[in-house]
Amino acid sequence: MKFSKSNHKKSLRWSMIRTLVAGWVLPLVLLTVVMLGITFSMINGQIARTIRISTENAVEICMMRLQEAETLSKNASYIPTIRESYRQYLADHQKQKLSASVTAFLNQQYKYDANLLCTMLFFDREPEEVYYTYNTYQDNNSGYTGYHRSLYFKSYVQEQVLAEQDTLDTGLKLLHREGHLYLVRNLVDSSFHPYAMLVLELDPEIIFGSLESIWGAEQFEILLDGEALFDNGIKEGIQRLIPAQEAVEIVYGGQNAELVYQTVPWKTQTLTFAASLDRASMVNEVGMIRIILGCATALMIPLFFVTFRFFEQNVSEEHQAEICRAFR
């Protein structure tokens, strides 16, 4: 059987194409696909680890600041100033002296703490008389603002605080209303009978400010016993969550993480810290890898044709004849 010259070249060309495709292009494509899969898996795993670790650290800082506020609230019980001043007042009924003593104590203990916005105290027998001090640590927390914080408390929150007195005993409780967050405790006498209540209005921006350090966090929300404190737009996402565990949980929308949360017990209550995640930051993290691998894949196409052209032009007539004789 004889082959024409054109058939020789045609047969040789297709043989070269098959060889290049089977021996180079196909393995290279498969290797690229495998590398892409492994790379994206590693990046997504690293992103998830970073989100979890940053969330755990942020929540730990929040709980430390709550612990600081709790420790600070104990001063009103452990230091006998309030108790002794009130006992003296019951004996001599000098309200001005009581007011001066209580106000001085509140200023000394609570006026300059960064975790607090306002501190209020009232006695059981005269709950309408609320003694308070405002925190001057914040530039915008003036005396005018402090007065309105105490007025808001008397108008909207004090009744709720009083309702907790009997069940609170010597414990603590967090209460909230319209973005205001309060730490409440009873002051008890030597017989452990409540005689006054101390209310610390916490600064959410300070207490929960560490949540902004969560990797990729766009907005955050805190749920106190299932109720949102801020209602800042991600409440609907939180309500979709499965019953929360103490471990950090990440909620995915498709392939991207869209929400991270952690539930932590605090006294007899539970706090859920949640942050919505910026999808753009997730995409940008792997975007450069995709561009690099995409360029590498695109460069294989001209490289294939250059290699093929090189072999075609450098195969001599003798080589073609030898290949043709091999098929006879």
Residue 149 lies in a domain: no
Find the Cα–Cα–Cα–Cα dihedral 316, 320, 325, 328, rounded to 10°.
-170
**Helices vs. strands in the chain: H and E counts, helices first:** 11, 10
Long-range contacts of residues 125-133, Cβ cutoff 8 Å, at least 24 apart:
127/158, 127/162, 128/154, 130/154, 130/158, 131/99, 131/102, 131/103, 131/106, 132/106, 133/103, 133/106, 133/107
Residue 136 lies in a domain: no
Residue 155 lies in a domain: no
How far are the Cα atoms of 84, 100, 197, 210 from residue 77, in angstroms, in the given order?
11, 18, 10, 29
Look at the chain and report how many structural domains it folds into.
1
Residue 120, φ and ψ in degrees, nearest 5: -125, 150
How far are the Cα atoms of 32, 229, 261, 278, 293 from residue 290, in angstroms, in the given order?
11, 40, 29, 19, 5
Residue 178 lies in a domain: no
The answer for residues whose C-beta is within 8 angstroms of residue 327's C-beta and 6 or more apart is 1, 3, 11
- Provide the token pair at 13: 């060309």
Name the residue range of residue 28's domain.
5-42+282-326
Q: pLDDT tens-digit profile of 137-157?
A: 654 555 557 778 889 999 999
Pairing status of strand 269-277 against strand 256-266: antiparallel
**CB count in 10 Å sphere of residue 172:** 20
Q: What is the chain's percent helix, strand, coil content, to nearest 5? A: 55, 25, 20
Residue 312 lies in a domain: yes
Residue 294 lies in a domain: yes
**CB count in 10 Å sphere of residue 25:** 17
**CB count in 10 Å sphere of residue 198:** 26
Q: Residue 264: beta bridge partners?
A: 271
Residue 161 lies in a domain: no
Residue 314 lies in a domain: yes
* Cα gap 195→198, rounded to integer Å: 10
Q: Residue 229: beta bridge partners?
A: none
Asked if 15 and 322 touch (Cβ cutoff 8 Å), the reply is no
Residue 28, φ and ψ in degrees, nearest 5: -65, -40
Helical ranges in 21-127 per DSSP H: 26-78, 81-92, 95-110
User: Residues, the chain, total?
Assistant: 328
Residue 1 has a pLDDT of: 47
Per-residue tens of pLDDT for the chain, all 328 residues: 444 555 555 565 667 667 766 776 677 777 777 777 777 777 778 888 888 999 999 999 999 999 999 999 999 989 999 999 999 999 999 999 999 999 999 999 999 888 999 999 999 999 999 999 988 765 455 555 777 888 999 999 999 999 999 899 888 999 999 889 999 999 998 888 999 999 999 999 999 999 999 988 888 889 898 888 887 666 565 656 545 556 677 766 555 567 888 989 999 999 989 888 876 655 555 566 667 666 766 766 676 676 666 666 665 455 555 555 554 5
Positive or negative CA dihedral for 89, 92, 93, 98?
negative
